[in-house]
């Protein structure tokens, strides 16, 4: 399966494209499952517009691609969605910024549970996270897996991030010790381009990561 479930549209302040343009680019790029995941603080009070629009497009293109309606949630204390904001109408939520000082969340499974949908951790070096907090990596990954939380391999490479690649992802794909821990824990992985500019979209990177995960005998999340 070739799945890219991290993408931004004009609902994110940092994005600019119509969701339909993204879906067309994904189809052209041979993506089979495509998730749109705009920022919670970008969607803000337009949640029902956003969901309706993505669902309509999902229906329009259903013979060519499976389109998912997701969201990316910032865990910075000043960007958190309101307490009563659950995400049951989304297919999944990606949580970001967990490793930063402005995130006050310590119990990730408890935090994830509030959203009432499948939750993944976006672009975070979880091995560094464990080291920093003196957590035993295998136990930590097992605790995420048993809460049904998945971990993203972020394949972003674009102009708005200065053409950088995430070093945790590069490391994971070559580090057999890390791969063994992830395998044993049973945690599922997702892949996302995290695109913000249609002209930067490179589906080859998604194919590479999905194939690599399969080759390594690891599990790609299936939402």
Residue nearest to Zn ion (CB): 96
Q: Which is nearer to Zn ion, 4 or 96 (CB)?
A: 96
- The three-state (H, E, C) secondary structure of the chain, written as one string: CCEECCECCCCCCCCCCCHHHHHHHHHHCCCCEEEEEEEHHHHHHHHHHHHHHHHHHHHHCCCCCEEEEEEEEECECCCCCCCCCCCCCCCEEEEECCCCCCECCCCHHHHHHCCCCEEEECCCCHHHHHHHCCCCHHHHHHHHHHCCCEEEEECCCCHHHCCCCCHHHHHHHHCHHHHHHHHHHCCCEEEECCECCHHHCCHHHHHHHHHHHHHCCCCECCC
Least Å distance between CB 123 and Zn ion? 6
Q: Which is nearer to Zn ion, 124 or 185 (CB)?
A: 124
Q: Which is nearer to Zn ion, 4 or 72 (CB)?
A: 72
Q: Does 4 bind Zn ion (CB under 5 A)?
A: no
Q: Which is nearer to Zn ion, 61 or 76 (CB)?
A: 76
Distances (CA, A) of 30 to 25, 168, 195, 211: 9, 26, 16, 13
Q: Does 96 bind Zn ion (CB under 5 A)?
A: yes
Identify the residue whose tokens are 């194919």: 207
Q: Does 38 bind Zn ion (CB under 5 A)?
A: no
Pattern 148-187, Zn ion, x by CB under 5 A: ----------------------------------------
Q: Which is nearer to Zn ion, 91 or 194 (CB)?
A: 194
Q: Which is nearer to Zn ion, 6 or 188 (CB)?
A: 6
- Select the span of 50-58, 85-93, 193-201, 210-218 touching Zn ion (CB under 5 A): 193-201
Least Å distance between CB 53 and Zn ion? 18
- Select the span of 103-111, 124-132, 192-200, 210-218 touching Zn ion (CB under 5 A): 192-200
Residue of the chain from 4, 91, 152, 194 that contacts Zn ion (CB under 5 A): 194
Binding site for Zn ion (CB under 5 A): 72, 96, 194
């Amino acid at each position: 399966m070739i799945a890219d479930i991290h993408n931004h549209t004009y609902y994110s302040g940092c994005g600019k494209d119509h969701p339909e343009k993204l879906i067309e680019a994904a189809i052209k790029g041979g993506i089979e499952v495509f998730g749109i995941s705009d920022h919670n603080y970008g969607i803000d009070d337009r949640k029902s517009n956003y969901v309706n629009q993505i669902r309509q497009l999902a229906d329009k293109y259903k013979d060519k691609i499976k389109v998912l309606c997701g969201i990316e949630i910032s865990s910075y204390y000043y960007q958190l969605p309101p307490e009563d904001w659950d995400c049951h109408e989304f297919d999944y939520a990606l949580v970001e910024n967990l490793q930063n000082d402005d995130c006050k969340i310590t119990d990730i499974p408890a935090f994830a549970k509030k959203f009432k949908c499948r939750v993944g951790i976006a672009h975070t070096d979880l091995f560094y996270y464990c080291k920093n907090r003196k957590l035993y990596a295998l136990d930590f990954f097992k605790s995420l897996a048993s809460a049904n939380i998945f971990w993203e391999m972020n394949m972003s490479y674009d102009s708005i991030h200065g053409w950088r690649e995430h070093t945790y992802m590069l490391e994971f794909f070559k580090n057999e010790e890390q791969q063994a821990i992830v395998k044993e824990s049973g945690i599922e992985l997702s892949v996302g381009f995290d695109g913000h500019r249609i002209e930067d979209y490179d589906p080859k990177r998604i194919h590479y990561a999905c194939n690599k995960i399969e080759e390594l005998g690891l599990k790609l999340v299936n939402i």
